[in-house]
């Protein structure tokens, strides 16, 4: 595991950062001097200085001349979105082109984008990835001329199993299947446990990519009420089990997309027991677990699974190297069927890419890199929430996720987010309207903002402009005159 290899200053800074974000250390509170901090924790003065510099870079503390260090002002505590109340009935998914359009525009350098939930290249150690790729090619160049077969290179499957220990899971590498992406892993799971017309329960709102998969497989979506901080309501899910023929549950228990909610650990244990009792498959997406600020939120539901009902899916596109496009799945009691389905549907991946991923996963220092990424993202989310509080219409509600880089905004109900989306496009700004995240029009007044991509001086300015456009639309619904 990487944790013991973290520099002392990172361990110290991380403990303090969690205390600040949890409110244990209050805004404006004076912190110990460098010498006092070193004495309290038994570290050198240099280590204490480095810890404070790290916290300054994350904008969690500030140095005041001749006064010392203080906890920095936190963004205003904005009201959070309401608990969703979706229809009790399932429905077939009928999406239009909106999701594809948002993703395409998010990649266009002519636009300032908040549309995609993708981290920017500056958040990754690109040289580290390049070196791993070069080593894999040099040492195993014959794989470039060899047709890949099977569930994945043994080195990659072992590296994934080792990584899963940090999620609380003990996986057999022989049961791990490497996939082209996390989305492919989820699609495989649904193909294995469902047939057209079956009902799949999932969060509300949910990731639009999940809805696209359900639509392509002709599956019915049953949206479950979801709390913006605590995730899917298990009481509502229990009622669904009792009243409907739910074939599978598709969920993101840690930092769900788009809400950023994280299911409490006790509820994760309860969910695993519910699945076994009702003999229902859970497809668990752990894509964002490594970005959670609290360690307990990184623990997977799979870690509580004793019956093989949990199919765990993940990738490293948000934390190590998006360009490798490597995912993985361990399908529990459906493992053999899934491996057969994978072989028929898409075959194996590039062995060279898998070995590069294995190299990156087993290198020392990965934990420190993740902590730095979490700190950078947290500072950016804080900045975005502050700008939203200053610029958006009164009555706007905003999520406050404990990690990750996605914000969910609930605007005043009379404001049409689709109209706001069009107004933003006219000014070369991309947002993701709430209509993308449900099989129903329930979230017409909501918006998802991704703040993990490329980030420059134009992004805070664009956030302010989105707020101004929203205020104008609220005062003049249907108006074409959207000047600030």
Q: Length of the chain, please?
A: 484
Which pLDDT band, with edges at 50, 70 and 90, does 22 fall under?
confident
Report how far residue 225's alpha carbon sits from residue 86's, in angstroms, rounded to the nearest whole number: 6
| Residues with Cβ within 8 Å of residue 411, at least 6 apart in sequence | 392, 393, 395, 396, 417, 420, 445, 446, 447, 470
Mean residue pLDDT across the chain: 91
Q: Which residue has the higher pLDDT, 259 or 376?
A: 259
pLDDT at 54 over 90: no
For 307, phi and psi rounded to 5 degrees? -120, 0
pLDDT for 478 equals: 61
Residue 299 and residue 166 in contact, taking contact as beta carbons nearer than 8 Å: no
pLDDT of 346 over the 60 cut: yes
Rounded Cα distance, 285 and 256, in Å: 9
Least confident of 164-173, 362-371, 386-395, 443-452: 362-371
Q: Which contiguous run of DSSP H or E holds residue 214?
A: helix 208-216
Instruction: Please state the rounded mean pLDDT for residues 214-230.
Output: 97
- pLDDT band of residue 335 (cuts 50, 70, 90) is very high
For residue 483, what pLDDT band results from cuts at 50, 70 and 90?
very low
CA distance 95 to 99: 8
pLDDT of 430: 97
Q: What is the DSSP string of 242-266?
A: HHS-EEEEEE--SS-TTT-----HH
- Cα–Cα dist 153/171, whole Å: 16
Q: Is the pLDDT of residue 31 over 50?
A: yes
User: For residue range 285-318, what is the model confidence (pLDDT) as tens digits?
Assistant: 999 999 998 788 899 999 999 999 999 999 999 9
10/167 Cα distance (integer angstroms): 21
Share of the chain above pLDDT 90, in %: 71
Q: What is the CA radius of gyration of the chain?
A: 23
CA 229 to chain centre: 14
Name beta bridge partners: 214.
Answer: none
Q: Quote the pLDDT of residue 294.
A: 79
Mean pLDDT check: name the lowest of 3-12, 67-76, 312-321, 377-386. Answer: 3-12
Residue matched to tokens 């001086």: 457
**pLDDT at site 1:** 36
Over residues 322-330, the mean pLDDT reads: 92
Q: What mean pLDDT is predicted for residues 318-335?
A: 94
Q: Is the peptide bond before 251 cis (omega within 30 degrees of 0)?
A: no
- The residues with which 429 forms a beta bridge, in sequence order, are 112
CB 80 within 8 A of CB 229: yes
pLDDT of residue 218: 97
Could you write out the DSSP letters of every residue in 100-124? Answer: HHHHHHHT-TTSEE-------GGGS
Question: For the segment 363-388, what is each residue's pLDDT rounded down to a tens digit?
Answer: 887 777 888 888 888 888 988 998 99
Question: How many Å apart are CA 216 and CA 283, to the nearest integer?
Answer: 17
Confidence of residue 76 (pLDDT cuts 50, 70, 90): low
Place of tokens 């290179």: 153
User: Residue 191 belongs to what H/E stretch?
Assistant: helix 182-193
pTM: 0.86
pLDDT at 480 over 80: no
**Residues forming a β-bridge with 71:** 61
Task: Say if residue 4's pLDDT is above 60.
Answer: no
Alpha-carbon distance of 389 to 464, in angstroms, equals 10
Orientation of helix 8-22 relative to helix 45-57, angle to 10°: 50
Residue 3 has pLDDT above 70, yes or no: no
DSSP per position, 322-372: GGG--EEEE-GGGHHHHHHHHHHHT----HHHHHHHHHHHHSTTHHHHHHH
Confidence (pLDDT) at 482: 54
Please determine, for residue 34, whether its predicted confidence score (pLDDT) is greater than 70. yes
DSSP assignment of 259-313 equals T-----HHHHHHHHHHHHHHT-EEEEE-TTGGGBSSGGGG--GGGG-SSS-EEEE
User: What pLDDT, on the 0 to 100 scale, is given for residue 6?
Assistant: 59
Report the Cα–Cα distance between both ends of the chain, in Å, rounded. Answer: 52
Query: Which of 93-97, 162-166, 304-308, 464-468 is the least confident region?
Result: 93-97
Query: Which of 188-192, 216-220, 351-355 is predicted least confidently?
Result: 351-355
∠ CA(409), CA(234), CA(434), 5° rounding?
20
Report the pLDDT averaged over residues 391-398.
95
Helices vs. strands in the chain: H and E counts, helices first: 15, 17
Token representation of residue 344 = 């028929």
pLDDT at 163: 95
**390 HSE (CA, 13 A, CB side):** 12
- pLDDT (average), residues 351-373: 87
Mean pLDDT, residues 41-68 taken together: 86
**Structure-block tokens of residue 271:** 């969910």
Mean pLDDT of 118-127: 88
In whole angstroms, what is the distance from residue 404 CA to residue 16 CA?
Answer: 19
Of 151, 85, 128, the residue nearest 361 (C-alpha): 128
Average confidence (pLDDT) over 244-268: 97
Residue 325 has pLDDT above 90, yes or no: no
The dihedral built from the CA positions of residue 184, 185, 189 and 192, taken in this order, carries a sign that is positive
Percentage of the residues of the chain whose pLDDT score is greater than 70: 96
- Per DSSP, the three-state class of 178 is strand
Spell out the residues 6+ positions from residue 96 whose beta carbon is closer than 8 angstroms to its own.
Answer: none
Q: How confident is the model at residue 2 (pLDDT cuts 50, 70, 90)?
A: very low
């Amino acid at each position: 595991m990487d944790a013991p290899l973290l520099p002392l200053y990172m361990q110290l800074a991380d403990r303090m950062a969690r205390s600040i974000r949890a409110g244990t250390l209050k805004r404006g509170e004076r912190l110990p001097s460098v010498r006092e901090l070193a004495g309290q924790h038994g570290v050198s003065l240099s280590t204490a200085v480095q810890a404070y510099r790290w916290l300054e870079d994350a904008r969690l503390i500030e140095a005041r001349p001749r006064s010392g260090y203080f906890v920095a002002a936190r963004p205003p505590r904005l009201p959070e979105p309401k608990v969703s109340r979706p229809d009790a009935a399932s429905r077939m998914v009928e999406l239009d082109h909106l999701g594809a359009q948002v993703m395409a525009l998010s990649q266009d350098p002519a636009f300032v984008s908040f549309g995609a939930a993708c981290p920017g290249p500056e958040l990754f150690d690109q040289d580290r990835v390049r070196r791993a790729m070069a080593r894999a090619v040099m040492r195993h160049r014959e794989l470039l001329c060899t047709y890949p077969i099977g569930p994945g290179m043994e080195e990659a499957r072992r590296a994934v199993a080792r990584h899963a220990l940090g999620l609380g899971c003990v996986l057999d590498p022989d049961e791990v299947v490497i996939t082209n992406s996390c989305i492919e892993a989820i699609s495989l799971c649904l193909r294995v446990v469902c047939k057209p017309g079956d009902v799949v329960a999932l969060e509300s709102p949910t990731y639009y990519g999940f809805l696209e998969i359900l639509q392509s497989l002709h599956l019915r979506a049953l949206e479950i009420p979801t709390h913006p901080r605590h995730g899917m309501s298990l009481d509502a899910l229990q009622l669904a089990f009792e009243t409907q023929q739910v074939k599978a549950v598709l969920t993101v228990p840690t930092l769900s997309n788009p809400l950023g909610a994280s299911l409490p650990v006790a509820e994760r244990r309860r969910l695993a027991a519910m699945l076994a009792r009702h003999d229902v498959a859970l497809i668990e997406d752990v894509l964002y677990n490594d970005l959670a600020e609290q360690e307990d939120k990184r623990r997977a539901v799979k870690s509580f699974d004793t019956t093989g009902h949990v199919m765990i899916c993940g990738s490293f596109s948000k934390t190590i190297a998006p360009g490798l496009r490597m995912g993985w799945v361990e399908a529990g009691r459906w493992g053999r069927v899934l491996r057969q389905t994978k072989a028929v549907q898409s075959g194996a991946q590039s062995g060279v890419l898998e070995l590069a991923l294995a190299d990156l996963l087993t290198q020392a220092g990965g934990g420190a890199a993740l902590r730095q990424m979490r700190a950078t993202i947290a500072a950016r989310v804080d900045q975005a929430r502050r700008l939203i509080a200053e610029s958006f219409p009164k009555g706007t509600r905003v999520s406050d996720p404990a990690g990750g880089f996605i914000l969910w905004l609930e605007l005043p109900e009379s404001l049409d987010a689709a109209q706001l989306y069009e107004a933003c496009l006219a000014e070369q700004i991309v947002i993701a309207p709430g209509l993308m995240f449900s099989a129903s029009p329930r979230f017409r007044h909501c918006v998802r903002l991704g703040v993990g991509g490329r980030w420059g001086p134009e992004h805070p300015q664009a956030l302010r402009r989105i707020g101004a456009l929203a205020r104008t639309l609220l005062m003049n619904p249907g108006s074409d005159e959207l000047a600030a």
